[in-house]
């Protein structure tokens, strides 16, 4: 590719997918799509839009992905009808990738695990947390069901190229500080609209030393800062993750040294504590030292979701709960993100540890993350959750409260019966 001006990794992906030598922030362009994604909430609407084109087939049977993961196993008749719509369309179109109860998982963990998304891709999904795949060095973003239905037909859609904010996490993480704490700290600093329709490009020593599970967590919550996408330049950790996994050839791109950024933000991660987002916005963050003083008693703990339901997250919870018991006043529910994560958790003994501690473990599903099922909160109940949003009524009754935290803090809190630091257990 011959380029005229220096570009960020996001701009390079847009240039390649729109057959242009160079693009810059603010350009309006039509780009080809590598993967389109929908779930059992957004998929049925997208299918209806697709049918309006009176086409016999989607643009590419291997690139249209439908995952029933929000209300599955189905909680009622309406959710069963939604899941059936995906199942029927998948059969009708003979889509390459077929997912259902027993084989599916939470979409944003499932697609990377199966190698369906890869480095250099341009991906859209009718789910806001599609930005997760930026951890692989892909451009991925959420769109509406109408846009997705059109893309299922055409294989392309229109974009405005976002300007970029570079976020540099310098230094080494302190013990029990995780990727979740870094992204919560950033959101607390810049606010839920601090990166509105912008690229958040994450880099620095702390990112380079971070495993893929942590990188997925950080990019997953870019949308909570209003970002169009989150992205991390691929490196050896990315290459190793994709090796023998990616079903298409990865394209490893990097930002030019003189690429233009709207803003550069730097943090010394050694100064960042485990972080808790108080109700009712992810930006309402407090260090764990403050949360301890507030003596916040809890009724439920949720560990899982597309943000923190991966193997490393289950491992963190098991590490804390080993030879301990969940507080008698607390319900602990664990949501592993995929079937493969379940198998590995069993093999590594994490499940036995969690069950012996008093946790309930679910099949892969979004569950209570969006107030779906399997853990809805009653009036005035308080939950510590490793999910990504804590809006009013997000997990149940509008008087309930959600505190966002890492798996370490969530597990420690489950033991103490209040929001707690891991160090309080030793």
Dig out the tokens for 362 from the structure: 């679910």
Phi and psi, residue 37, nearest 5°: -135, 140
Tell me, yes or no, whether 317 and 354 share the same domain. Answer: yes
Give strand pairing partners of 383: 300, 402
pLDDT in tens, 107-163: 999 999 999 999 999 999 999 999 999 999 999 999 999 999 999 999 999 999 999
90 within some domain? yes
Q: Is position 1 within any domain? A: no
User: What is the pLDDT averaged over residues 24-30?
Assistant: 95
Q: For residue 1, is pLDDT > 80?
A: no
Give the model's pLDDT for residue 366: 84
> Is 346 found in the same domain as 239?
no
161's CB contacts (< 8 A; 6+ apart) are 10, 11, 14, 23, 24, 25, 26, 27, 28, 29
Quote the tokens at residue 398: 């509008």
Tell me, yes or no, whether 307 and 242 share the same domain.
Answer: no
List C-alpha distances in Å: 247 to 103, 111, 117.
18, 11, 8
Whether residues 44 and 106 fall in one domain: yes
Q: What's the DSSP call for residue 2?
A: -
- In the structure, what pLDDT confidence band is assigned to residue 3 with cuts at 50, 70 and 90? low
| Tokens, residue 174 | 């302190």
Mean pLDDT score of the chain: 95
- Cα(319)–Cα(342) distance, integer angstroms: 16
- Average pLDDT of the segment spanning 362-391: 89
DSSP characters over 23-80: --TT-EEEEE-SEEEEETTTHHHHHHHHHTTT-SS-S-TTTEEEE--SSTTT-SHHHH
- Output the CA angle 68-73-78, nearest 5 degrees: 75
Count Cβ atoms within 10 A of the Cβ of residue 249 and give its class: 0-12 exposed, 13-18 middle, 19 or more buried.
exposed
Compute the distance between CA of residue 414 and CA of residue 423 in angstroms, rounded to an integer.
14
In a domain, 3, yes or no: no
Q: Is 287 a domain residue? A: yes
Q: Is residue 369 part of a domain?
A: yes
User: Do 243 and 358 have their domain in common?
Assistant: no
Q: How far is CA 255 from the centre of its chain?
A: 23
The closest alpha carbon to 137, from 267, 292, 224, 16, belongs to 16
Please check whether residues 180 and 283 belong to one and the same domain.
no
Q: Return the structure tokens found at 106.
A: 């939470």
The tokens for 163 are 């300007």
**Please, which residues have CB within 8 angstroms of residue 339's CB and are 6 or more apart in sequence?**
102, 103, 104, 105, 364
pLDDT of residue 397: 87
Structural domain including 141 reads: 9-266
User: Within a domain: residue 178?
Assistant: yes
Q: Yes or no: say if 142 and 107 are a contact pair by the CB < 8 Å rule.
A: no
Q: Is the pLDDT of residue 4 over 80?
A: no
244, 295: one domain: no
* Under 8 Å between Cβ of 149 and 61: no
- Give the count of domains, the chain: 2
Q: Are residues 286 and 253 in the same domain?
A: no
Angle at 263 between CA 262 and CA 269, to 5 degrees: 150
Task: Tell whether 262 and 300 lie within a shared domain.
Answer: no
* Domain-terminating residue out of 232, 248, 266: 266
Give the domain-ending residue among 266, 286, 308.
Answer: 266
Edge-to-edge strand ranges of the sheet holding 122-125: 64-67, 35-39, 122-125, 139-142
Whole-number Å distance between alpha carbons of 73 and 363? 8
Domain-embedded: residue 4: no
Q: How far is the C-alpha of 114 from the C-alpha of 84, rounded, in Å? A: 23
User: Cα separation of 82 and 21, whole Å?
Assistant: 42
Residue 395 three-state SS: coil
Nearest to 417 by CA among 334, 331, 358: 331
Give yes or no for a contact between 164 and 25, defined as CB atoms under 8 angstroms apart.
yes
Q: Of all residues in the chain, what percent carry a pLDDT higher than 70?
A: 99
236, 318: one domain: no
Q: Per residue in 209-261, pLDDT tens?
A: 999 999 999 999 999 999 999 999 999 999 999 999 999 999 999 999 999 99
d(CA 389, CA 403): 9
Boundary of a domain, candidates 222, 246, 266: 266
Mean pLDDT of 259-280: 96
Q: How far apart, in whole angstroms, are the C-alpha atoms of residue 245 and residue 43?
A: 26
| 321 and 344, same domain (yes or no) | yes
Q: Would residue 334 count as lying in a domain?
A: yes
| CATH number for the domain that contains residue 25 | 3.30.499.10
Residues 326 and 357 in one domain: yes
């Amino acid at each position: 590719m011959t380029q005229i001006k220096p570009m960020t990794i996001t701009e390079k992906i847009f240039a390649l997918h729109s057959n242009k030598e160079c693009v810059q922030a603010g350009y309006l362009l039509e780009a080809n799509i590598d993967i389109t994604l929908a779930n059992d909430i957004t998929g049925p609407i997208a299918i209806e839009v697709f049918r309006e084109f009176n086409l016999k087939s989607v643009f590419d049977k291997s690139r249209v992905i439908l995952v029933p993961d929000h209300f599955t196993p189905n909680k009622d008749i309406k959710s069963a009808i939604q899941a059936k719509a995906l199942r029927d369309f998948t059969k009708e179109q003979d889509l390459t990738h077929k997912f259902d109860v027993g084989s599916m998982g939470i979409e944003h963990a499932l697609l990377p695990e199966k190698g369906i998304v890869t480095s250099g891709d341009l991906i859209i999904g009718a789910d806001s947390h599609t930005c997760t795949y930026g951890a692989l060095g892909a451009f991925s973003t959420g769109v509406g069901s109408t846009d997705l239905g059109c893309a299922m037909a055409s294989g392309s859609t229109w974009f405005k190229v976002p300007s970029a904010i570079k976020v540099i996490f310098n230094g080494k993480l302190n013990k029990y500080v995780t990727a979740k704490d870094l992204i919560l700290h950033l959101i607390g600093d810049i606010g839920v609209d601090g990166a509105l329709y912008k690229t958040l490009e994450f880099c620095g020593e702390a990112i380079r030393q971070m495993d893929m599970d942590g990188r997925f967590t950080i990019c997953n919550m870019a949308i909570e800062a209003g970002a169009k996408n989150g992205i991390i330049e691929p490196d050896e950790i990315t290459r190793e993750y994709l090796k023998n996994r990616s079903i298409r050839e990865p394209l490893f791109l990097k930002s030019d040294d003189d690429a233009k950024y709207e803003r550069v933000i730097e943090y010394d991660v050694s100064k960042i504590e485990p972080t808790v987002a108080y109700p009712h916005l992810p930006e309402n963050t407090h260090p764990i030292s403050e949360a301890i003083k507030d003596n916040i008693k809890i009724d439920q703990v949720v560990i899982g979701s597309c943000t923190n339901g991966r193997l490393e997250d289950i491992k963190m919870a098991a590490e804390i709960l080993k030879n301990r018991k969940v507080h008698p006043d607390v319900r602990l529910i664990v949501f592993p993100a995929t079937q493969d994560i379940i198998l590995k958790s069993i093999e590594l003994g994490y499940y036995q540890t969690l069950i012996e501690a008093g946790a309930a473990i679910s099949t892969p599903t979004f569950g209570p993350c969006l107030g779906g099922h399997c853990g809805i909160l009653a009036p005035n109940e308080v939950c510590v959750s490793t999910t990504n949003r804590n809006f009013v009524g997000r997990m149940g009754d509008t008087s309930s409260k959600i505190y966002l935290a890492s798996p370490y803090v969530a597990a420690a809190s489950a033991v103490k019966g209040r929001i707690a630091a891991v160090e309080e257990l030793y």
